[in-house]
Amino acid sequence: MPKIDVKALKERKGSGYPAPFDEPCRERVRKALGDAGGLTQFGVNLLTLPPDAWSSQRHTHTGEDEFVYVLDGEVVMITDAGEEILRPGDCAAFPRNDGNGHHLVNRARRPALLLEIGTRSDDDFCTYPDIDLQIDSRLDRFAHKDGTFYPPRG
C-alpha cells in the first residue's frame, strides 16, 4: 500500500449523535487513516480535539475493542473509575464487553491530537451510561434505552 497523504484526507467534523448529545462533540475532527489505506478489519482515526471538545459521549461496546494513543496535547480520560490525564505517549485500551464507560475530554487550552484504533463489528451494541442513548450496529440507528428510535441521521 502506498504512503497515505494525511494532509489530503477529508476531515469529518462533529458526530452523528442526535441532539442534544451531539453538542460536546461538534468541534471534534477525524481523519479516517485506516479507510484511506483500504483497511476493513479495524479502523484507525487521527482525532483532533480542540479545547472543550469531547471525543464522544461516554460509552461502552459489546463487540468492539478500542485503543487510543495521545500524540500531542492533553486530554482527560473519564471512565467508570473516575478521571485521569493522558499526555503525549500515554495510551489506553478498552476491551470489548468490559462494561467500562469511557470518553476523552480536552480541558486544556490547546488542541490535542490522538490516534484511535478499533475493531469493526457488524454485531456490536453500544450503550451510553450517562444519557438516554444506545445503538445496535445491525440496525445502525440511535435509540432511546426503551428501544424507541431517534429520528434518522440527516
**Residue of 83, 87, 90 whose CA lies nearest to 67:** 90
Give dist(CA 88, CA 139) in Å, integer.
37
Give dist(CA 32, CA 26) in Å, integer.
17
Residue-wise pLDDT for 6-56, tens only, equals 999 999 999 999 999 999 999 999 999 999 999 999 999 999 999 999 999
Q: Which three cell numbers stand for residue 48?
A: 483532533
What is the pLDDT, as a whole number, of residue 19?
A: 95
Residue pointed to by grid coordinates 469493526: 120
Residue pointed to by grid coordinates 451510561: 129
Residues 142 and 135: beta-carbon distance below 8 Å: yes
What is the pLDDT, as a whole number, of residue 111?
A: 98
pLDDT band with cut points at 50, 70 and 90 for residue 154: low
Buried b (16+ CB within 10 A) or exposed e, 34-55: bebeeeeeebbbbbbbeeebbb
**Average pLDDT across the chain, whole number:** 96
Backbone angle region of 14, left / alpha / beta, with phi > 0 → left and psi within -120 to 50 → alpha: left
Strand partners, 46: 31, 115
Residue-wise pLDDT for 120-136, tens only, equals 999 999 999 999 999 99
Q: How much is the pTM?
A: 0.94
Strand duo 91-94 + 125-128: pairing: unpaired
For the chain, the first-to-last Cα distance in angstroms comes to 34
Residue type, 101: G
Q: Give me the domains of the chain, ranges plus CATH numbers.
A: 16-137 (2.60.120.10)
